[in-house]
Amino acid sequence: MTDELMTDPAVRVSDAQEIAPGLLVIPNHRVALVPNIGIVAGTKAVLVVETGIGTVNAEQVLAFAADVAKGRRLYLTTTHFHPEHAFGAQVFAGQATYLVNRAQAEDLKTKGPGYLEMFRSFGGPIARRLDGVRVPTPDLVYDDGYDLDLGGRTVRLRPTGRGHTKGDQVVEVPDAGVLFTGDLAETGQFAIFPWFPPHDTDVSGVGWLAVLDRLAAGEPRVVVPGHGDLGGPQVLDGVRDYLRELREETWRRRDSAMGEAEIVAEVRALLIERHPEWVGQEWIERGVGCLCAEHA
């Protein structure tokens, strides 16, 4: 078992940081399978972005958010269906309104059970965190976008189309210039490609690049990535540069009729040499496989 799978994915709510008035982030401190979690407050309601993996993490997040809300209404949203982002949502039932985009709701329904089984198979602390977890069902599902009025602050929930998953959404807080990207962006690691043919092939390197182009055009002041350190627009630029690099190096070799195994070996060695400090090297092979299957 890898060190990553042996690490307990514990959310540490005591480390929450206020990055703008009424907007807090519980940082993941680069711990595997811990997302950056947002708490966005208005005068009438508070929105939680992500739950952490499992009920114990989610209970801590809910308690923290309730303390911030002090009686104000609670909402929950998640950026996509993966377990560390959404598989604690059952704890919020009856306490908060859980709303997501339709493609994400479909991912939860169709893929959620398989991902729950897969993550439990990792054993150790991850399986323990998932004890008693059920795949959540949202309370409210929207189609083209949703403007959530928290009172004096409107948060924009926007589906992005196919990228890291089919059901990605971003969460924009326009008055603060803050953008929550989920796993469309990470820092300090290779981009996460959940490319698991034939069971899950929804990730699209081509679509992901197009999404990042659109997000970068919005010029956010602060980008909260799914995992890793917060930053400015350079967070989006860094992921976009890497995905272009991965695409170009993969397609150049694919178009020269190299076999996929040989492409993986060459591209992996090249990108590790260029980014020796990044974690998540296992995702390079998945990214190459995805891009080998996509056409220019």
Give residue-wise pLDDT tens across range 174-212: 999 999 999 999 999 999 999 999 889 999 999 999 999
Percent above pLDDT 90 for the chain:
95
What domains are defined for the chain?
3-293 (3.60.15.10)
Q: Quote the CA–CA distance of 41 and 121 in Å, as a whole number.
A: 37
Cα within 13 Å of Cα(37), Cβ side: 30
Residues 6+ apart with CB under 8 A from 22: 40, 41, 42, 153
pTM of this structure? 0.96
101 strand-pairing partners: 142
Residues 6+ apart with CB under 8 A from 252: none
Give the closest residue to 158 by CA, choosing from 49, 12, 59: 49
Q: How confident is the model at residue 295 (pLDDT cuts 50, 70, 90)?
A: confident
Q: How confident is the model at residue 4 (pLDDT cuts 50, 70, 90)?
A: low
Q: What is the rounded average pLDDT of the residues 79-90?
A: 98
